[in-house]
Amino acid sequence: MFYLRVLLMHVIIISKTVKFKDIKYRIVIMCLLLPTFNFAQQVKIIATVKDSDTAEPLAYCNVSVSGTGKGTITNSDGVFSITVSSENDILVFSYLGYKNLTISASALLKNKNVFLQKNTYELQEVEIHADNDYLYKILSNSRRKVKSNYDQNISKSYYCVETKATPLEVIYSNPYYDSVNNFALINHVYEKERQSEETVEILECLYNATMSGAKINHFSFRNGKAFIPPPKENYFLTLNSSKAMGQFCYFEENENFPSCPFQYNKRTMKKTFNLELLSFDGKNYHIKFYPYDNLRNHFSGEVWIEKKTSQVLNISLSVKNAETCPLIPLFEIDTIKNFNMDVSYSFNPEYSYLPDYTFFNYDFIYVSRRDTIVREDINKRTTSKISSNGLIYYYDYNKPFILPYFTYDYDFNDYMLMTFIPYNKVLWNSNDIVLLTTKQKQQIGVNDEYGNAENQLNIKDGKIIFEKFFQKDISFFEFHYVFWSTDKRVILSSPSIYDNISKDVDKMQFPSDLYNLKVQILLDVTEIGDSIVCKSWTIFDTMETFYKYAETSNTKAFFNIYFDICEIERRKMQKQLDENKYTLSEIEAIYYSTKAEMEKISKQFVMETDRGRDDKNMKRWNKYVLENLGIDNLELVKNTEKRKNQ
């Protein structure tokens, strides 16, 4: 859980009711402008893949549509969902250690179960050697093979992590007596029969993953959704496990993870790890490895290597009570201990042995030495067992998502990204991602048999709002990107961090040093078959905004008129996108043309109003906003000041 310090906010928002004229006519016009999309007839298939002998579900089995490059994998229940063009399409099922199977879509619509058979081989195909030196040679050859691959690729990727917490102990350093109910909060150690494990989060995200060979270089956030129930003690969120787990490379050393054989040359490998051949089927080696000593600093595991190509097909790693841990607590006073982890990497021979999926689970003891979230006057230490399991699935190689058009230069975690990149239901419904399990759906409260959950987070004004406790909203990631709204106005924060700056600002050489206003248009573009859906928002970037001039009635309206002018340009762009069908390149051209026009007109506004200090031109621009949006900013400021003086 990587921690990012949030910069001091220069601008805050307050609610003001804004009245609009002719609202009925506006609603009618909006409805008439809604786009209509015609989608090609497609067939959605949902089925379960099982072992033919045991009828056990096969987790993370590859399912692809023959001849299309389109595919998905099963979840841990063996269930998959995929959309095909017609019932005549052929689906191919492949799973390590099992025979490939092809089935028509029409057959799967009738029978929802797919049974795979294990491979069988003749006895003479088993290799026999006098010692295990050849195993180190196999791993060394495979290591050289994978390290020499620098091919650049990009794929879509799906990430899901489920976290559960088991309370073990709560200690209050200062017993507190409630003034209403008059009861004492006492230290409590949970007995084993009362240690109830409960889900504390299910987080799903979509990214573009860029990679060099088998190494993941970067995840670019596309969209996310999460389910977080109210806590019994403290909230627990995994902020950056996707980054930590996705960018761990099994053949490169990483100080945050234990080591494995592929990170060493043959000589060092022989000194550190013992290797054993578990099986050889004539095509693939199945090799077990474990360290001679220092088990806490080295992975144990198994690897499947293809004999003909020396390519790794799958590698599984495991460590108990590791000395190194890829996660850190959000607060320095908190502690993570007893970290255990299992992780498995799979590579697809059908796609040049590129990453297929990463499955991981880990658990640890988390000691929180903080006040409660809801009562700052209560000091306590909470000890919990945290268990997480997750999946990163890579698909649609070289067909990446269209990322939101929005500029941010900070390394935000997934939850922060979700506060300013709105949940995209159309995107989630149009992707053949890995399904949540039946148990996960029950926890989230999904009623339909197969469908992913809606976004459970209440994201408002750039922050995530949780349940109310003691008549108080709990919020995390109070952020600095403010979405334009008819009933929200922007004001300078008070007290201002610039109060100590000289008031004689007119004598400063460069007026541009005294202010900076930054507004962006966020454009979200989603491809659905042959159609493209575009949604946009106007966002005030308070991370980059400051204003050092003296505050007056006009300058209070200045920020909002600036914001509103940008919103007018966004509406023009959205109307243009809604009324016509454009290609992706044309949409991009319209977006950048709108940005240029927005910068031009906002700059004109700033210069003509002398940064909000010219009364005559402020009235003229205020009228422009009133005519286009129905908002009278000067009147709102005037009424606000009246109420303050009453």
The series of mean pLDDT values per 10 residues for the chain, 646 residues long, is: 30 35 34 38 87 92 86 90 89 91 92 89 56 93 94 94 88 59 56 73 92 92 85 70 82 91 96 94 93 93 96 96 87 88 92 92 87 56 89 92 90 85 89 80 58 52 55 58 85 49 50 79 92 94 77 84 96 96 96 97 94 91 96 90 70
CA distance 582 to 597: 20
Which residues touch 583 (CB under 8 Å, ≥6 apart)? none
Residues 508, 549: contact at Cβ < 8 Å? no
282 φ/ψ angles, rounded to the nearest 5 degrees: 95, -20
**Ramachandran area for residue 444 (φ above 0: left; ψ -120 to 50: alpha; else beta):** alpha
- DSSP string of 413-466, one letter each residue: -HHHHHHHS---HHHHHTS--PPPPHHHHHHHT--SSS-PPPP--EEETTEEEE
Paired sense of beta strands 458-460 and 312-319, if any: unpaired
State residue 350's pLDDT score: 83
Q: What angle do CA 159, 161, 163 make, to 5 degrees?
A: 170
How would you label 311-329 residue by residue, b for 16+ Cβ within 10 Å and e otherwise?
Answer: bbbbbbbebeebeebbbbb
* Domains of the chain, CATH where assigned: 11-20+486-645 (no CATH), 43-120 (2.60.40.1120), 124-150+252-325 (no CATH), 151-248+326-480 (no CATH)
Environment class of residue 365 by beta-carbon count within 10 Å: exposed (0-12), middle (13-18) or buried (19+)?
middle
State residue 583's pLDDT score: 95
Which two tokens mark 642? 């009246």
Whole-angstrom CA distances from 144 to 61, 141, 147, 252, 573 are 28, 5, 5, 12, 52
State residue 199's pLDDT score: 85
Q: Which residues pair with 164 in a beta bridge?
A: 199, 387
State residue 22's pLDDT score: 41
State residue 207's pLDDT score: 95
Which residues touch 322 (CB under 8 Å, ≥6 apart)? 258, 296, 297, 339, 340, 341
Which residues touch 454 (CB under 8 Å, ≥6 apart)? 225, 425
Q: E-assigned strands of 52-174?
A: 62-65, 70-73, 79-84, 90-94, 101-104, 113-116, 152-172
Residue 444: closest CA among 219, 205, 229, 299: 229
Q: Which residue has the tokens 């000194």?
A: 271
